[in-house]
Structure 1
């Protein structure tokens, strides 16, 4: 995959959007939580890009960008905490979100 020219904030926004959409619905509470982690303009730009990508493209972009930004184990752990916050934001941590958390945890540990 070609180099993804995202800032760290853009990467975080994309990953959190990916997590927020795990249950196929993105709530206002989830959006507000993501915007609290990144600036509003980055969120808007990344949201548009995210909407155009399928799951395969999203995963490839995420893994490539994690490698480019040289995420450490500690960085990954903090990112996973943010993802958990997204999953719990709407008050419903359903089976789809649980499975997504498990998959992302495995994926990130390999990156």
Structure 2
């Protein structure tokens, strides 16, 4: 089995959104209560828990490729991707600390989704 196939998902839109937000929340290597609370208002608790478990078992390379491949598989438009990024910024700002690590992650994700 090729690496690309292993990094394919069968996620729906809510699962992608949850994983994307969990990935963003972990940019600064910490999960604040404010960030967790905000994400849980955007996706169901069961989806959050499922995707959090998957995120915890993935490395950075796997996470990036899963996000990129799923955006393509779900045919996300430029507008839909921009909406995800807008919500990601809300998560970064939830703990009132938009760190350099979070900025770098946002730039990196922007590059792979363009």
TM-score if structure 2 supplies the norm length? Answer: 0.92
**Residue in structure 2 matching 1:25, options 3, 9, 30:** 30
| Unmatched tracts of structure 1, length 5 or more | none
Once superposed, what is the RMSD of the aligned Cα atoms?
0.8
Q: Distance in 2 between matches of 1:65 and 1:10?
A: 10
Instruction: Name segments (4+ residues, structure 1) moved above 6 Å.
Output: none
1:59 is displaced (CA, Å) by: 0.5
**Residue in structure 1 matching 2:80, options 72, 75, 83:** 75
Quote the residue 2:47 is aligned against: 42
Q: Distance in 1 between matches of 2:87 and 2:113?
A: 13
- Count residues in correspondence: 109
| Unmatched tracts of structure 2, length 5 or more | none
TM-score if structure 1 supplies the norm length? Answer: 0.95
